[in-house]
Amino acid sequence: MKKKLTTYLITLASLLSFISSVNLYAAATLTNSRPANGSLVISWSSRGTLETAAQVTGPWTPITNALNPYTNAITTGAKFFRLNQTVDATSLHKKVLCGYQGWFRCPGDGGSQWIHWSRSSSTITPSTLTFEMWPDMSEYTHAYPAPGFTYPNGSQAYLFSSHDQQTVDRHFEWMQDYGLDGVWVSRFVVGVASHPTDVLVNVRNAAHRTGRTFALAYDLSGQPTNTLFSQLTNDWRWLVDNLHITDDPRYLHHNGKPVLMIWGFFPERFSTNLANQIIDYFKTDPTYGVTLVGGGAWWWQSETAPGWSNVFRRFDVYSPWNVGNVSLDGTNMWASTAYWSQDKIAADAAGMLYLPVIYPGFSWDNLQQLPPGTSLFPRHGGEFLWRQFKAAGNLALDMAFVAMFDEVDEGTAIFKVSNTPPTQGHFVTYDGLPSDWYLRLTAEGSKILAGEKPNTATIPISPLPPLPPLAVSLSATPTNASGAPVTVQFTAQASGGTPAPVPFDTTDDHLGTVTAAGENNGINGNFELAANAFDNTLTKWLDFANGDPTTRASWIQYQYPGGLTRTVTNYTITSANDAPERDPANWALLGSNNGGTNWVTLDPQVNQVFTDRYQTRAFSVASPAAYNIYRLRIDSVADAPSAVALQLAEIQLLGTQKYTYWWSFGDGTTASSEQIGASVQQQHTYTNNGNYTIVLGVTYGAFRGTNTITINIGPP
């Protein structure tokens, strides 16, 4: 997974040589261009520090404040450049570290227990599951079969063990590939009496291999108060004296001291005397002292318990635990961030740095043995996470704690998760988004806090990878003719974009007609009209169905203009913002070519469930054919007795994307055609002699391509 880095040599003669650089960690290579003014422009596609040297052996000097792209004037002598993606481990500033549990074990990994996968250490079944998300196992080299669990295609399902160095290496390789800085590695005081080191050693090794940084995060949960201080400090001294952890160049430092997080400062857990004893030791001990990060109550600045207001203001850095702290916007839940601005003011006044906790969503139904969906904080396609990065950026914060990298137990993981988990049991997925989507989002948020990219109100990247533009070949027969009139045969071929037909929403032009059995046309001041279902926004269509959806089937339909027909191969339905009892449950997609007199049933569905608000679900048409009208007939809703209405937010009718060819023949005439195929032939007759420049443009979804040729008609 480690990718080769390129070093650039620039001389007065503008000679550019490529020399492989060694001992560098990179998730991308530098690219360059040379403008006409004699300078060299260097750009890079991932995070890193641009460095320069007079010779390839160094010494290398970071170019501070180097913008991407970086422009360098070519001067006398040689100059080398490289992108060093080893994360700076000397400062908390411009760092976004993820919490890392590393606590998963499987039988066969050197032990015989299911740890953190099942509440029974000896067996794993749907009723013993203690995790919400099934990891995407496609890239693991070490995997363990989960007996009785199979993927939808019937194949055996597997899980990983954090005990394997290869597993932790893979996780850190993902951090390297996506530009994440490193981790807070959890260490539970209740289990450190024997000084276990397997998780810590795995993390340490992986950090070295990938150039990431790490810091320890002690969790005080569950440790009796009478032994908490001694067990905590004894273990830290052992790690410093025996593992020499704070001497490790990959261990995070700040202001010259190792960084240590201690999590669990909640007034109900222990006394202020014990809290102050812990703080005094770790802030003042000449040998074992640290830059101390306290983690605990999010309401710390308004805490009224005696003495705790002072405790919370004694750390070097404070990190309020925000997981589970949400605010409602209508019926939508979002992580609470409004208090951060006052937190920042209070932290500044106390001389502390402020480290907000950012998380992507939450669910622990399996862990708590709750019905599916009971505890879910929906991710909203990444918007839940992104709003927190935006809030941190608005406060000019340059650090954050992302909870968590690997915690599938409570549904807060950002690593790669499967969208096709086993059919046995209930699991939360990424709703069809790529398994690396939250790694990419976290990387984008990190760039904002590091000042590498501007803050944006909306997610600045797409879940879909960028695809190359279209290449277009164009030929003519003949290219030279003795005189007009002559008919020329043109042949064109488009390539690139994507090799397979692209599904697209056939209603995106909004030129069709939307009708429905009913709609909310102003009741209670709301206009929840049928057209809202095809407007590409999350407004909703609501049909009261005469006050009782069981009295008649509701329906909504889209008719293409001018008798146009479209072949719909797939369709999507998006649930509305509230009232899940109104979600469609039983329906059929119908097609008609005679104005709705006769209908063909294309896709019947029964007992469908939407587990989230604004959840988009996709369905396929078994035998696609071209129709002028498509109707969605809804026969029943999720809970008819209590619903008194039907609602949904959006419908997409997806067809196969076509190529559109636009011709300009050079004589003032044009033509266009649309077809599924990537190649086309076109004839045109020229009635006058002359030289003609033919321009062809091709569009294919979001892709564009052009080509130009010249032909001669007339005497040579």
Query: Does the model's pTM come out above 0.85?
Result: no
Q: What is 471-502+658-713's CATH number, 3.40.50.2000, 3.40.718.10, 2.60.40.10, 3.40.120.10?
A: 2.60.40.10
Domain spans in the chain, listed from the N-terminal domain onward: 6-84, 95-449, 471-502+658-713, 503-656
Percent of the chain with pLDDT over 90: 62
Identify the burial level of 539 via C-beta atoms within 10 angstroms of its C-beta, where 0-12 means exposed, 13-18 middle and 19 or more buried: middle
Residue 21 above 50 pLDDT? no
Query: Which pLDDT belongs to residue 546?
Result: 47
pLDDT digits (tens, 9 = 90+) for 668-713: 888 877 777 778 899 999 999 989 999 888 877 657 788 899 999 9
Reported as a single tens digit per residue, the pLDDT across 295-325 is 999 999 999 999 999 999 999 999 999 999 9
19, pLDDT greater than 50: no
Given 2.60.120.260, 2.40.50.140, 2.60.120.620, 3.30.70.260, which CATH number is that of 503-656? 2.60.120.260
In degrees and rounded to multiples of 5, residue 174 shows phi and psi of: -65, -40
Tens digits of residue pLDDT in 493-521: 888 765 555 567 888 767 789 999 999 88
Question: Distance of CA 654 to CAs 175, 531, 651, Å?
Answer: 35, 17, 10
126-154 pLDDT, tens digit per residue, is: 999 999 999 999 999 999 999 999 998 88
Q: Using one digit for the tens of pLDDT, what is the confidence trace for 542-560?
A: 998 644 445 567 999 999 8
Tell me what pLDDT residue 43 has: 67
The answer, yes or no, to whether residue 26 has pLDDT greater than 60, is no
Q: How confident is the prediction for the chain on average, in pLDDT? A: 87
Q: Is 368 exposed, middle or buried (0-12, 13-18, 19+ CB in 10 A)?
A: exposed
Which among 178, 345, 181, 191 is positioned nearest to 259, based on CA atoms?
181
* Mean pLDDT of the 185-189 span: 97
Among candidates 568, 552, 570, 565, which has minimal Cα distance to 516?
552
Give 65's contacts (C-beta < 8 A, 6+ positions apart): none
- Structure confidence by residue, pLDDT tens digits, 35-76: 444 556 676 666 777 777 777 667 878 876 666 677 766 555
The predicted pLDDT at position 275 comes to 98
What value does the mean pLDDT take over residues 331-354?
A: 95
Max alpha carbon distance in the chain (Å)? 105
Given a cut of 60, whether residue 2 has pLDDT beyond it is no
Element (H, E) at 346: helix 340-349
pLDDT at 203 over 80: yes
Q: Which CATH architecture has domain 95-449?
A: Alpha-Beta Barrel (3.20)
pLDDT at residue 241, as a whole number: 97
Is 23 a residue whose pLDDT tops 90? no
* 236-269 pLDDT per residue, tens: 999 999 999 999 999 999 999 999 999 999 999 9
- Return the exposure string of 165-203: e unless at least 16 CB atoms fall within 10 Å of the residue's CB, then b: bebbbbbbbbbbbbbbbbbbbbbbbeebeeeebebbebb
506 or 181, higher pLDDT: 181
Mean pLDDT computed over 643-660: 86
Residue 330's SS3 state is coil
* pLDDT score of 3 more than 60: no
